[in-house]
Each structure stands twice: as structure tokens, then as C-alpha cells.
């Protein structure tokens, strides 16, 4: 936009530049420079006044138009519903139908998670949700991973630029639940918690590996707790989940946060140890990592290790559900494929 009068043009440049830094754009209409231009009008020679006045009014109109456009766009932004599961600007007939019980169902991982939590709930475990972003202390230090220890390499996950961690296991909750429930022990009550949530690994994705998956873990701490309590608890859970009697087998393993540590296998619920494709013809399925909680971990959680011992163990929910329903590819879970999901509705 050009102005016949150079002084109006100079003020216009100045004010337009200032506009960008103003939160309240309307302030620009009260600018002293603009007022000064108007104040000059009455004292001007009549032949200059008309074109000068026209230019100032043009400038004022331009500024007002700019402010109105900004205000309009702000209103539009306010109206966007970021929770809408569709493009809010799409025509009504193109939007998906409103979800209801008839039009949707729980994701198979969520409905199985509910069953798992329910079984542990009936065994006296309270439920806690894990986190989807955490820090190095809860991911490693509080779980007895010494700084720089190679065991950390088994938990290759994602870091934010601020140094936060996408948890590679729900064990990040151990320190928190111990601190929260340590008071129970002094009142003669055990700590019994099942904690579940989304976990992340920097994996090469294939039919058996996903970067995002779910874990279920339990902790039980009380006086005189030993390995037989651990085995009995998981046996009870697995038999309830698969609705049949099962055999349990444990063999030594290594985790920094448990001592001793075990890998637990169950007799194949599908072939009763005869051998089938689910158990790779072995009759056994290795499903669980577990062990007696390392006293170092309990000390960091504020537990009196002279008087109390405990066990912890966890399993991958995706694997549990894949086995139960004969799902051949873990990637189906995060794929959002309706053909897959409808089989569980």
C-alpha cells in the first residue's frame, strides 16, 4: 500500500513493524505517532490537508483491518477441538459416526489387561499405572543398575533432548511403590502391588518385536517372604488366567534388581507338554522374569531390609495375549487395523 505523503508512509512502516510484537493489537490505534498525525491536520494548509487526511485515514483503516483479521483467526483457533478424533474442518457428512457401545470395543490388550489386573486384585494386589515418561533414577539407579554397567544396554530405549526416558520396563514404579507403601509394613500389612503400563524399546520391529508394548509386574514385600511364595503366586495367577492346572519351572537368570533372579516357564496350556507351534514343540513357554527383590533396591525404597523381604516379577502382556489368541504378529496391536480389532469386539 502506498501513501502520497512520505511522513504518513514512514509512520505506517513504523507501526506495522511494532504490531508484530504487540499482544493486544488494538493498542496500535492509540499510538502517539498516529495521534500526532491527526493532530497536525487542523493546522495544515487547506490544499495539503485533503490528501494528508486521506492518507492517515487509509493507514488507520489498514491497521483496523489487520486487527480484525487477527482477531478472527484467533476465534477460529479457539474453536478447534483437539480431542476430536477427526479433522474438525471436514464436512459433517465426512466425519465418523459418534462412538457408542455399538460402534466400538476395547482394544484386545486393554480387555486382557483388565482381566489380569482383576485376577491380581482378587489376590490382594492394589493396582498402579506406570508412566510413559520417566527419569534415569527410576529407570536404572533405583533398580541397582550401577552407572555405566553393561546391564543397562539390555534396556535400549528412547531419550528426550531434556534427558527424560521412555521407560523400557514398568519396574520404574518399584521405588515409588515402596516409598508409598512402606508405612503398611510397620502396621503389619504386606506391600502387594500390581503395576502395568506402556513400555518402549529401541527395537528393530518385526513379527516378534515392537518398539511399544505393555508390561505387567507385581511386587510383594512382607516378613519371611521367600521364593516359594513367588512361585505359588505366579502359578495361581497363570492357572486362573488360563483356567487350567499348569506346571511351573524356574531356572537361574540375571537381573540387577533381584537376587536371586529367575526365568519362569509354564507348561504349555495348549498342548499339555506334548509340543505344538505355540511352545515351539518344547512343551514349555518362558514367560516371566522374576526374583527376590535385591536388598539394595529395597533400601533405596525406604524398606527395613533386616525385617522384610519381597519378590517381584513381570511379563509382557502382548506376548500373553498373542499366545492366548494365536496372534502371529505383534505389530497388529499398534497397527490400528480394523479387520484385526473387529475379531475381538
Q: Which is nearer to Zn ion, 119 or 278 (CB)?
A: 278
Using CB under 5 A as the binding rule, whether residue 151 contacts Zn ion is answered as no
Beta bridge partners of 252: 262
Q: Which is nearer to Zn ion, 250 or 279 (CB)?
A: 279
Q: Which is nearer to Zn ion, 268 or 330 (CB)?
A: 268
Encode 123-141: b = buried (16+ Cβ within 10 Å), e = exposed: eebbebebbeebbeebbbe
Q: How far is the CB of 319 from Zn ion (least distance, A)?
A: 14
Q: How far is the CB of 282 from Zn ion (least distance, A)?
A: 8
Using CB under 5 A as the binding rule, whether residue 323 contacts Zn ion is answered as no
d(CA 118, CA 181): 20
Q: Which is nearer to Zn ion, 15 or 238 (CB)?
A: 238
Q: How far is the CB of 179 from Zn ion (least distance, A)?
A: 41
Using CB under 5 A as the binding rule, whether residue 312 contacts Zn ion is answered as no
Span from 53-61, 108-116, 160-168, 272-280 in contact with Zn ion (CB under 5 A):
272-280
Total residues in contact with Zn ion, by rule CB under 5 A: 6
Using CB under 5 A as the binding rule, whether residue 119 contacts Zn ion is answered as no
d(CA 229, CA 234): 9
Q: Which is nearer to Zn ion, 221 or 285 (CB)?
A: 285
Interface residue with Zn ion among 37, 113, 266, 268 (CB under 5 A) is 268
Span from 218-226, 231-239, 265-273, 306-314 in contact with Zn ion (CB under 5 A):
265-273
Q: Which pairs with CB-CB distance under 8 Å and at least 24 residues apart come from 119-123?
A: 119/237, 119/240, 119/241, 120/194, 120/218, 120/237, 121/194, 123/192, 123/233, 123/236, 123/237
Q: DSSP string covering 103-133, please?
A: T----HHHHHHHHHHHHHHHTTPEEEE--SS
User: Hey, which bits of the chain come out as E strands?
Assistant: 126-129, 191-200, 212-222, 248-255, 258-267, 284-293, 309-316
Using CB under 5 A as the binding rule, whether residue 246 contacts Zn ion is answered as no
Span from 89-97, 201-209, 253-261, 270-278 in contact with Zn ion (CB under 5 A):
270-278
Interface residue with Zn ion among 279, 290, 312, 317 (CB under 5 A) is 279
Catalog residues that contact Zn ion under the rule CB under 5 A.
268, 270-271, 276, 278-279
Amino acid at each position: 500500500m502506498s501513501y502520497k505523503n512520505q511522513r504518513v508512509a514512514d509512520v505506517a512502516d513504523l507501526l506495522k513493524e511494532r504490531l508484530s510484537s504487540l499482544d493486544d493489537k488494538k493498542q496500535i490505534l492509540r499510538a502517539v505517532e498516529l495521534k500526532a498525525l491527526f493532530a497536525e491536520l487542523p493546522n495544515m494548509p487547506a490544499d495539503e490537508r485533503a490528501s494528508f487526511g486521506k492518507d492517515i485515514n487509509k493507514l488507520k483503516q489498514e491497521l483496523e483491518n489487520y486487527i480484525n483479521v487477527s482477531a478472527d483467526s484467533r476465534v477460529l483457533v479457539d474453536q478447534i477441538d483437539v480431542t476430536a478424533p477427526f479433522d474438525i474442518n471436514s464436512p459433517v457428512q465426512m466425519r465418523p459416526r459418534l462412538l457408542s457401545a455399538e460402534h466400538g470395543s476395547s482394544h484386545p490388550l486393554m480387555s486382557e489387561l483388565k482381566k489380569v489386573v482383576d485376577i491380581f486384585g482378587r489376590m490382594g494386589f492394589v493396582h498402579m499405572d506406570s508412566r510413559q515418561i520417566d527419569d534415569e533414577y527410576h529407570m536404572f539407579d533405583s533398580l541397582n543398575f550401577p552407572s555405566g554397567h553393561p546391564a543397562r544396554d539390555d534396556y535400549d530405549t528412547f531419550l528426550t533432548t531434556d534427558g527424560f526416558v521412555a521407560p523400557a520396563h514398568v519396574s520404574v514404579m518399584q521405588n515409588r511403590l515402596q516409598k508409598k507403601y512402606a508405612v503398611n509394613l510397620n502396621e503389619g500389612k504386606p506391600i502387594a502391588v500390581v503395576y502395568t503400563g506402556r513400555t518402549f524399546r529401541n527395537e528393530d520391529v518385526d513379527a516378534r518385536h515392537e518398539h511399544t508394548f505393555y508390561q505387567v509386574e507385581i511386587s510383594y514385600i512382607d516378613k519371611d517372604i521367600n521364593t516359594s511364595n513367588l512361585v505359588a503366586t505366579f502359578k495361581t495367577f497363570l492357572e486362573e488366567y488360563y483356567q487350567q492346572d499348569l506346571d511351573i519351572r524356574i531356572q537361574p537368570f540375571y537381573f540387577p534388581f533381584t537376587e536371586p533372579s529367575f526365568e519362569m516357564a509354564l507348561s504349555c496350556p495348549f498342548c499339555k507338554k506334548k509340543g505344538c507351534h505355540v511352545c515351539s514343540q518344547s512343551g514349555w513357554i518362558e514367560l516371566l522374569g522374576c526374583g527376590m527383590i535385591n536388598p539394595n533396591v529395597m533400601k533405596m525404597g525406604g524398606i527395613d531390609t533386616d525385617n522384610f523381604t519381597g519378590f517381584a516379577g513381570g511379563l509382557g502382556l502382548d506376548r500373553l495375549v498373542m499366545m492366548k489368541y494365536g496372534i502371529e504378529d505383534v505389530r497388529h496391536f499398534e497397527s490400528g487395523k480394523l479387520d484385526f480389532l473387529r475379531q475381538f469386539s
